[in-house]
Structure 1
Amino acid sequence: MAVIRGGYWRSSKANYFPPESIQTRYFTHLFYASVAIDEIDDQTYQIRLSDIDQTWIGRFTQTMFNNNANVKCILSIGEDTEAGRTTLSNMISTPDGRKSFIRDSINKALQYGFHGLDLYWKYPATANEFDMPNLSLLFKEWNDSLKEEHNRTGNPKLSLSTIVYFAPKFFPADDNKAYPFKSIKDNVDFVNLVCYDYSGSQDVEVTAEHALLYDQHDEMSTHYGISSWIDDAGVPEGKLVMGLPLYGRRWELVDRNENGIGARATAVGPMDYSDILQFNGVHQANLHVVNDKTVSTYSYAGQAWIGYDSKFSIKGKVQYAKDHALGGYFFWALGMDKDYELPEQAFDTWN
């Protein structure tokens, strides 16, 4: 399989960053993120097209086709909310629910000219202990249906992907909570790993990189997650796609003179890459690249501290993905780097 250079485009930000703003030359796969699932009854599940989706979904695929006919457009399905996760859990719990959803997802993809389908369920966190066995069934039945549609019509087979947690088992450790490795290996074309958001919650009281490649003291790192998917889950490296964030996380230092990784601080929240560059310039921030131990970047000015990926750390991560024969990389989310500095760096590094 050719290298995947992916990017998720958020329809919710379309007025700020319309499809026409996407520089398609940097990408092979562009994901429409994302449409939700409606529970009509306990047997019928359909794709929900909101008013925003009805405005933008057709424009998205048409714009991509006009700008770069080689780009694959992927419809990402799911929502990272408690209600969305519950609906997804309900849908996969019955054969009729899965069948209804699969049929409608394929119809919607074909209707709007997508090349593939993507399940957006980054953190399967519901009380249903059968979620993962049911997810295994969904992937198999979905892939079987995609093959049947291809054989019946002769059209190219729609691809099947999923965006998942950075590691095959969830943290904190829970022996009963792990992805269905074999079904993913057998039925999913590629797996987008969320290799970010390792830190930044309000209960953490020291600065930390939220997307570091290595961590000598913790398992919350991209290297650990990818190694686990390969060694423990048995998913081939060529199916694994490394997630790269186009945003960082800002902290408020307790003591401005204590400003390294692990300094006492309070988490503030996410910050787009373009805004980080502006902040660094306006405040003449101190910049530190930590390529030897973490492959990450941070800057600080006064009591503000920001951990993020720069061109330097993106180069190191993409080189890692290439050296380890991964399937490629994807960015979350387009529009956060207005000048495409990081996608351009990733593109050049792999080449």
Structure 2
Amino acid sequence: MFRISVLVVLICSMVTTESKYIGGYYASSALRTLDVSDINPFLLTHIYYAFVTVYSNGTLSIQNEAKGFVEPLAELKSINPDLKVLFTLVQTNKSLSDVVSNKDLRTTLIQNGYDLVKKYNYDGIDIDWEYPSSKDKDNFMVFLQELSEEFHKHNYLVTAAVCAIPTAKYGYNVSEMAKYLDVINIMTYDFYGAWSAHTGLNSGLYASSLDSGYEKKYLNVNTSVNNWVSSGTPKNILAFGVPFYGRTFNLTDPSSHGIHSKSKGAGKIKTPTFYQIEKYFADYTDVWDDEQKGYYKYLNSTWLSYDEQKSVALKTKYACDQGLKGLFVWHLGADDVKGEISGVNQTLLQTINDSWC
């Protein structure tokens, strides 16, 4: 089903190492669907199928199953035997809160998750709960313990995508979570957007000198990583997210177009993918913010924060320098997959691999 040249396979297998962790979320609902056959499986260590819906009775439903992506993703392991493929679970109508609070429902969900992983030859479950509340904290920890005990008996993985801010408000007991999870993926993006009173980088590596105390403490990759580490997460299971998309802002005053310029809502395309940015925003004025190590563009009243090769390479180096597990991307289909603009297939994903320590 999949055709990847022998030369590419040999070259990529030479540069893949066991210590590398590069996760990629496969968004089954993406408007511009990524063909599984376009994925070079040697550029990833883990692929997450997004999403599988959890219902309040503990049953599961694969989103967009009819599109036929589930089995082909697993078949990528026949090309790269070291690749791990996981299902990512999400809730509907607070279903995870209902399930984790009831022992029988927890057991049902764990069994259904196991059956799903086994049926499709996947390698584990990823929990994307946005977000548990403080009242869910104890139940969530019990669920993770029970899930990990069952899954680890079968050598299946248990991972979680988490908020960039590890506070009790979100129902996290960080040191307990770290006991049960193989990888903790911090969602280090959406720091600023249409909801913000002023412009800011979607996923700045460092803080801006213009930031408030709160922004410096929470709204950049570096402090997010440090906050999770100081809360009890070992670096060897901690990864952070690199967005393959940007966020637009509608400037209040087009003549004021820097960091922290006043804005009101988003531009016409709220979250353009990297591919769209390269194709449709090329005539914008491009600015590198050396303080935060990120890019923004502007034209008339539209302002755009985004990542491209330089910022992605620096984030990869940061993950290596900090001794982290690695990093992950949301989402694989947002890349310049076929190299239509850059000439390099899976441009940003290839940049991560080229920049690895």
TM-score range relative to shorter protein? 0.7 to 0.9
Alignment of 1:115-264 (within 5 A): 115-125=123-133, 129-148=134-153, 150=154, 157-169=155-167, 177-202=170-195, 204-215=196-207, 216=209, 217=211, 218=215, 219=217, 220-231=219-230, 233-264=231-262
Could you tell me how far apart the structure 2 residues matched to 1:297 and 1:325 are? 25
Could you tell me how far apart the structure 2 residues matched to 1:265 and 1:315 are? 29
Aligned residue among 28, 34, 41 for 1:17: 34
The Cα of 1:53 is off from its aligned counterpart by 5.4
Could you tell me how far apart the structure 1 residues matched to 2:169 and 2:331 are? 31
Change (3 A) 1:290 1:15: closer
Could you tell me how far apart the structure 2 residues matched to 1:15 and 1:332 are? 14
The Cα of 1:176 is off from its aligned counterpart by 5.1
Q: Which residue number corresponds to residue 153 of structure 1?
A: none
Runs of 4+ in 1 over 6 A off after TM superposition: none
Q: Which residue number corresponds to residue 8 of structure 2?
A: none
Could you tell me how far apart the structure 2 residues matched to 1:29 and 1:165 are? 20
SS in 2 for 1:3: coil
1:68 paired with 2:68, answer no
The number of residues matched between the two structures is 322
Aligned residue among 33, 36, 49 for 2:53: 36
Could you tell me how far apart the structure 1 residues matched to 2:322 and 2:78 are? 34
State the Cα deviation string for residues 264-284 of structure 1 (Å, max 9, x = none). Answer: 222312111111111332x2x
Could you tell me how far apart the structure 1 residues matched to 2:228 and 2:52 are? 27
Change (3 A) 1:308 1:119: same
Could you tell me how far apart the structure 1 residues matched to 2:350 and 2:166 are? 30
Alignment of 1:320-339 (within 5 A): 320-338=318-336, 339=339
Alignment of 1:243-322 (within 5 A): 243-268=241-266, 269-281=270-282, 283=283, 285-291=284-290, 293-322=291-320
Q: Which residue number corresponds to residue 342 of structure 1?
A: 348
Could you tell me how far apart the structure 2 residues matched to 1:221 and 1:286 are? 23
Change (3 A) 1:199 1:345: same
Amino acid at match of 1:248: G
Amino acid at match of 1:327: K
The Cα of 1:234 is off from its aligned counterpart by 1.1
Aligned residue among 23, 26, 36 for 2:43: 26
Is 2:51–2:90's contact at 8 Å kept on the other side of the alignment?
yes
Amino acid at match of 1:245: P
The Cα of 1:210 is off from its aligned counterpart by 1.5
Normalised to the residue count of structure 1, the TM-score between the two structures is 0.86
Q: Which residue number corresponds to residue 14 of structure 2?
A: none
Is 2:132–2:172's contact at 8 Å kept on the other side of the alignment?
no
Gaps of at least 5 residues in structure 2 are 1-17, 340-345
Change (3 A) 1:14 1:55: farther
Is 1:249–1:306's contact at 8 Å kept on the other side of the alignment?
yes
Normalised to the residue count of structure 2, the TM-score between the two structures is 0.85
Is 1:289–1:312's contact at 8 Å kept on the other side of the alignment?
no
Aligned residue among 99, 106, 117 for 1:109: 117
Q: Which residue number corresponds to residue 55 of structure 1?
A: 68
Could you tell me how far apart the structure 1 residues matched to 2:79 and 2:53 are? 27
Amino acid at match of 1:345: T
Q: Indicate the RMSD between aligned Cα atoms, in angstroms.
A: 1.9
The Cα of 1:124 is off from its aligned counterpart by 2.5
The Cα of 1:24 is off from its aligned counterpart by 1.9
Identical-residue share of aligned pairs (%): 23
SS in 2 for 1:335: helix
SS in 2 for 1:100: helix
State the Cα deviation string for residues 284-310 of structure 1 (Å, max 9, x = none). Answer: x2111113x212110112222110111
Is 2:41–2:80's contact at 8 Å kept on the other side of the alignment?
yes
Change (3 A) 1:162 1:302: same
SS in 2 for 1:212: coil
The Cα of 1:85 is off from its aligned counterpart by 5.3
Change (3 A) 1:14 1:255: closer
Q: Which residue number corresponds to residue 154 of structure 1?
A: none
State the Cα deviation string for residues 301-327 of structure 1 (Å, max 9, x = none). Answer: 222211011111111111111100000
SS in 2 for 1:200: coil
244-253 vs 209-218, greater mean Cα deviation: 209-218
Q: Which residue number corresponds to residue 172 of structure 1?
A: none
Could you tell me how far apart the structure 1 residues matched to 2:112 and 2:271 are? 35
SS in 1 for 2:117: helix
State the Cα deviation string for residues 149-194 of structure 1 (Å, max 9, x = none). Answer: x3xxxxxx0111000001211xxxxx55441213211110110110
**Between structures 1 and 2, the one with greater strand share:** 1
